[in-house]
Amino acid sequence: MEYNFTKIQSLLKDFYNLTGIKTCIYDNEENEICYYPEKFTPFCSMLRKDPQMDERCKNCDKKAFTICKKTRAQYVYTCHAGLIECVSPILYDNKIIGFVVLGQIKPQSDSRIATDSEYTSEELDAMYRKLPNISMEKINSAIKIIDACAGYEYLKNLLHSVENKIDVLLDRYISENLTADLSVQALCSVFHLSHSEIYSIFKDYFHSTPADHVKSRRLAYARTLLETTTLPVNVICKKCGLDDYNYFSKIFKRHFGLSPRELRKKPFREF
């Protein structure tokens, strides 16, 4: 899946400005995609300088993701350093497509670092006291908001992706099925679209009606066969889905300025 990092970063920044809560977005393989405001608070950065503490932090993260994947539900816990962390799955079509992680939050009741490590100092303790102090009620509300935003952004991008592809799918289908029924009704049936949707797509993407676009593709293929093969013209018109030879010759000349037979008499560079 592709991600718009600028948009995600902007969303997390706005979220932080409203809540004061640090947020990270991960994909479904636990790879960090984006975060705001920083990867680690000064407290966590300093704590992780100790190899033992760094390993314990990583184990906490790993355990949280494992539980979240198993339960497919929000998991709130207190890390080994006494900070509140929360992992929430982003679900789409009943599948986990990523995770929202809120964390590095100091419990309201604690004023001193909770880790039992010997790696403590007045500086580290001072950094701990500067961590945000947010109630669980606010944390839960924040999770719901960011989860909804993440799901909305994913769905919007998904729909945009599908929309961008429909023109390619239609054009490919037409080009690969020139001898088939390519009426509006037939295309509606194949792509499960209404008449108005089909007409709208052709107008927006091809600046044409469905019938004119199909005709253009058939004539383009006919021209290619005329220039690259020695097939009889009547055979070529059938291969393009145009069984009426006289009609084929008429619209071909109107489209290219030359009849099929006249085209074959001229080098391609003169056409």
Residue 166 within a domain: no
What DSSP character marks residue 3?
-
pLDDT digits (tens, 9 = 90+) for 128-177: 888 877 777 887 788 777 767 666 665 555 545 544 578 888 998 999 99
The CATH number of the domain where 265 resides is what? 1.10.10.60
Assign 94 to helix, strand or coil.
coil
- Specify the amino acid at residue 250: K
Angle at 150 between CA 90 and CA 197, to 5 degrees: 105
The Cα 23–Cα 142 span in angstroms is: 10
Written as one string, the DSSP assignment of 112-165 is: S-----S---HHHHHHHHTS-B--HHHHHHHHHHHHHHHHHHHHHHHHHHHHHH
Residue 171 within a domain: no
Range of the domain at 218: 177-270
Query: Domain total for the chain?
Result: 2
Same domain, 149 and 60: yes
Residue 108 within a domain: yes
- Specify the amino acid at residue 78: T
Q: What percent of the chain has pLDDT over 70?
A: 83
- Specify the amino acid at residue 183: S
Residue 168 within a domain: no
Last residue of a domain, one of 126, 161, 196: 161
Confidence of residue 179 (pLDDT cuts 50, 70, 90): very high
Same domain, 181 and 157: no
95-105 and 84-92 as β-strands: parallel, antiparallel, unpaired?
antiparallel
How is residue 219 written in tokens?
């004539």
Last residue of a domain, one of 135, 161, 187: 161
Same domain, 18 and 117: yes
pTM above 0.85, yes or no: no
Last residue of a domain, one of 161, 192, 225: 161
pLDDT digits (tens, 9 = 90+) for 236-265: 999 999 888 899 999 999 999 999 988 887
Same domain, 14 and 134: yes
Closest CA to 200 of 188, 216, 182: 188
